[in-house]
Amino acid sequence: MFAVRRAYPLKSGWPLLRVVPTSTLKLSRPLGCFLRSQNLSRLVINTNTTPTSARAHTATETQNTQRKREKMKYVLVTGGVVSGLGKGVTASSIGVVLKACGLRVTSIKIVCRYGLITFLFINMLTETKIYPYLNTDAGTMSPFEHGEVDLDLGNYERFLDVTLTRDNNITTGKIYQSVLEKERRGDYLGKTVQVVPHITDAIKNWIEAVAVIPVDGKEGPADVCVIELGGTVGDIESMPFIEALRQLSFSVGQDNFCLVHVSLIPVLGVVGEQKTKPTQHSVRELRALGLTPHLLACRSAQPLLETTKEKLSQFCHVPVGNILNIHDVPNIWHVPLLLRSQNAHHSILKQLNLLAPATPPALQDWTRMAETFDNLTDSVRIALVGKYVGLSDSYLSVVKALLHACIACSLKPSIDWIAASDLEDDSAKLTPEAHAAAWETLRNAACVLVPGGFGDRGVRGMLLAAKYARENNVPYLGICLGMQISVIEFARSVLGLESANSTEIDAQTPNPVVIFMPEGSRTHMGSTMRLGSRRTLFQMPDCITSKLYQNSEYVDERHRHRYEVNPEVIGVLEEAGLKFVGKDESGKRMEILELPSHPFYIGVQFHPEFKSRPGRPSALFLGLILAATGQLKAYLDRHQNGN
């Protein structure tokens, strides 16, 4: 290895080139990793600059990079024995406690099968979700298989009160797609592309890049990133992620990495003894893959016995003080309190060398919220008419938004799940009992909510529910598809257009009141929806929706749809009494509809449930509950556009 300097004279301004061994250069970590992956031992550099200033700049940049890396902390949450133990809630609760200690938190989620992976970067908490599915994103996944799209990201947002990005959701498909795109571009210079190091490096780079994205509205990167690894230890889908995380833990150092392993402590009915063997095997498998847990979060029906903790400590190589018990609680808001009572924050902060900057966890508001819910006695009946009611997790954000709104009204939500297809006339012939029960439930509800969905199944039942609510002055809220349903029903029942429909349901309908968006793709379903937060401008400052939002001008909400109300029928619909009180910034896309002659009949193209938070419920969900309990008018009189 040597340096060669050009010996012949150069004209002024020409670059002075040197061939320099890379081992003598102070390189950023990403550049260094790239050069090593390409087996490049020397670089040709321009030295036609002031050497002192160049070295000073490089030294300062290196110091800043090192200082930045010293501050970044990771908490990885893995799971063992079985999936569905509540790793997402555990990871979110860890984030809540660390945030209560004065740290900023972000999150990343990795989903293997039906589970998650969570990393915590301390001082700002961030969460990212990684999916070992081959799907590029969750947009085309069936709610029947996986529940709501990005279900756990919603948990993180609600618990931590942050706004995550699509990059906080990592899937195997995204990783492989990015690597293959680089290979096609020739970025690997003809080298053999392999799982190790190319896939694992892509995973690490993705995590490190997303971890520094602010998610709490403040400037600067997070202090803690919570990353949840889905599935259970040993799943074949998660192996590249496990290896990438092992490498990450080694590269950042033991003071910047904390691993929390969630496992199950079952009790056999015959014996009645808390069994530790499943957890022992799970930890052994994890250690064989190169990761050793610093804390165990043990799920159980009842609190763990001290003898059980001692046995776990002996065989899993984890101190007794780091064995946490997350037993069954009345509601999930108790989980952060459970962690605090066992000093989980102290163990994590000690592992990450953050005891000095952290403060005692301030969870007074969280405690009050959990206890308030436990003490509620009155309830309100809500008919949720949907397509995927067989799996309640399909509408988890809707359920949580209803919960937040009900608690604000000192009520417990009593959700009556109604399969839309059970309301249809065909059901009266095929399953008369289910048909009768569905209609009885609908008639006994105080309000009706029709959430989003795709496809034609159950649409006729939703139309009947919307018609019932409209004709009987029952408070109604339609979200996304639910808004389109109310337009179709109004066109059929009021305008007399019996064939009115959505082109999603009937592509040949002579009266298309809901159409495919012009900018959408008809050949590809993935990544072709109108997504993200978008502004809706109120057309009528005195409408119910603007009063609920306490803003007479606009509202920003998240969207997820491919179809929209046909702009050509707006005039005739409004002449008949259906008012479109909110439009997008172009004025051509309908966002909010109201029926002024009805106490509360609102449809929105966006998804207000995604921004609902404990203690800060969604305005429209709050309005629905207030209308269902006869409190809406008094509330609006007190809160007219923020006055």
Task: Dump the DSSP string for 378-417.
Answer: -EEEEEEEES-TTSGGGGHHHHHHHHHHHHHTT-EEEEEE
Q: Is the pLDDT of residue 205 over 50?
A: yes
Q: Is the pLDDT of residue 155 over 90?
A: no
pLDDT at 134: 56
Are 408 and 357 members of one domain?
A: no
CB 48 within 8 A of CB 5: no
Q: State yes or no: is 57 an active-site residue.
A: no
Looking at residue 514, the DSSP 8-state letter turns out to be: E
pLDDT at 528: 62
Are 246 and 389 members of one domain?
A: no
pLDDT at 305: 94
Are 502 and 571 members of one domain?
A: yes
Q: Which of 591, 513, 514, 577 is nearest to 545 (CA)?
A: 591
Asked whether residue 72 is domain-assigned, the answer is no
CB 198 within 8 A of CB 179: yes
Q: Is the pLDDT of residue 9 over 80?
A: no
pLDDT at 337: 96
- What does the pLDDT look like over 316-336, one tens digit per residue? 999 999 999 999 998 899 999
Kindly give, in sequence order, each residue whose CB lies less than 8 Å from that of residue 600, ignoring residues fewer than 6 positions away: 447, 475, 476, 477, 544, 623, 624, 627, 632
Q: Is the pLDDT of residue 641 over 80?
A: no
* Position 126 confidence tier, pLDDT thresholds 50, 70, 90: very low
Least confident range from 18-32, 162-176, 261-275, 356-370: namely: 18-32
Mean predicted lDDT score pLDDT of the chain:
82
What is the token pair recorded at 160?
């931590």
- What does the pLDDT look like over 38-86, one tens digit per residue? 555 555 444 443 333 333 333 334 444 444 445 689 999 999 988 888 8
CA neighbours within 13 Å on the CB side: how many for 488? 30
CB 605 within 8 A of CB 534: no
Asked whether residue 312 is domain-assigned, the answer is no
Asked whether residue 487 is domain-assigned, the answer is yes
Which tops the pLDDT comparison, 347 or 62?
347
Least confident range from 147-161, 425-439, 529-543, 590-604: namely: 147-161
343-351: average pLDDT: 95
Which tops the pLDDT comparison, 442 or 520?
442
Taking the C-alpha atoms of residue 566 and residue 489, their distance in angstroms, rounded to an integer, is: 14
- What does the pLDDT look like over 480-517, one tens digit per residue? 999 999 999 999 999 999 899 998 888 899 999 988 87
Are 385 and 358 members of one domain?
A: no
Are 483 and 346 members of one domain?
A: no
Q: CA-CA distances (angstroms) from residue 142 to 255, 385, 453?
A: 40, 18, 10
Q: State yes or no: is 112 an active-site residue.
A: no
Pair type for strands 579-583 and 530-538: antiparallel
Kindly give, in sequence order, each residue whose CB lies less than 8 Å from that of residue 99, ignoring residues fewer than 6 positions away: 105, 125, 160
pLDDT at 49: 37
Query: For the chain, what percent of residues have pLDDT higher than 90?
Result: 56
Q: Which of 112, 225, 480, 543 is catalytic?
A: 480
Q: Which of 198, 294, 345, 607 is catalytic?
A: 607
CB 282 within 8 A of CB 293: no
Tell me, what CATH number does 89's domain have?
3.40.50.300
DSSP 186-241: TTTTTPPP-IIIIIHHHHHHHHHHHHTS--SSSSS--SEEEEEE-S-TT-GGGHHH
Taking the C-alpha atoms of residue 348 and residue 361, their distance in angstroms, rounded to an integer, is: 13
Looking at residue 110, the DSSP 8-state letter turns out to be: E
Are 122 and 246 members of one domain?
A: yes
Are 463 and 477 members of one domain?
A: yes
Largest CA distance in the chain: 96
Are 363 and 486 members of one domain?
A: no
Least confident range from 45-49, 140-144, 189-193, 326-330: namely: 45-49
Least confident range from 89-103, 135-149, 479-493: namely: 135-149
pLDDT at 62: 41
Taking the C-alpha atoms of residue 296 and residue 312, their distance in angstroms, rounded to an integer, is: 9
**Residue 125: what residue type?**
L
Domain boundary among 370, 387, 419: 370
Taking the C-alpha atoms of residue 353 and residue 336, their distance in angstroms, rounded to an integer, is: 21
- How many domains, in total, are found in the chain? 2
Asked whether residue 140 is domain-assigned, the answer is yes
Are 534 and 590 members of one domain?
A: yes
CA neighbours within 13 Å on the CB side: how many for 515? 15
pLDDT at 640: 66
Q: CA-CA distances (angstroms) from residue 201 to 72, 132, 222, 232, 246?
A: 18, 15, 22, 22, 12
540-557: average pLDDT: 90
Q: State yes or no: is 609 an active-site residue.
A: yes
Q: Is the pLDDT of residue 602 over 50?
A: yes
pLDDT at 347: 96
Query: For the chain, what percent of residues have pLDDT higher than 70?
Result: 80
Domain boundary among 317, 351, 370: 370
The sheet with strand 42-46 has its strands ordered as: 4-5, 17-21, 42-46
332-360: average pLDDT: 94
Tell me, what CATH number does 628's domain have?
3.40.50.880
Please list the residues that pair with 257 across neighbouring strands.
74
Asked whether residue 446 is domain-assigned, the answer is yes
pLDDT at 368: 92
Kindly give, in sequence order, each residue whose CB lies less than 8 Å from that of residue 502, ignoring residues fewer than 6 positions away: 484, 488, 509, 512, 513, 514, 515, 563
Q: Give burial (CB, 10 Å; 0-12/13-18/19+) of 56.
A: exposed
Asked whether residue 293 is domain-assigned, the answer is no
* Position 16 confidence tier, pLDDT thresholds 50, 70, 90: very low
Are 94 and 242 members of one domain?
A: yes
Asked whether residue 296 is domain-assigned, the answer is no
Asked whether residue 139 is domain-assigned, the answer is yes
Q: Which of 489, 591, 594, 609 is catalytic?
A: 609
- What does the pLDDT look like over 570-592, one tens digit per residue? 999 999 999 999 998 888 889 99
Are 338 and 459 members of one domain?
A: no
Are 596 and 526 members of one domain?
A: yes
Q: Give burial (CB, 10 Å; 0-12/13-18/19+) of 347.
A: buried
Domain of residue 504, residue span: 376-640
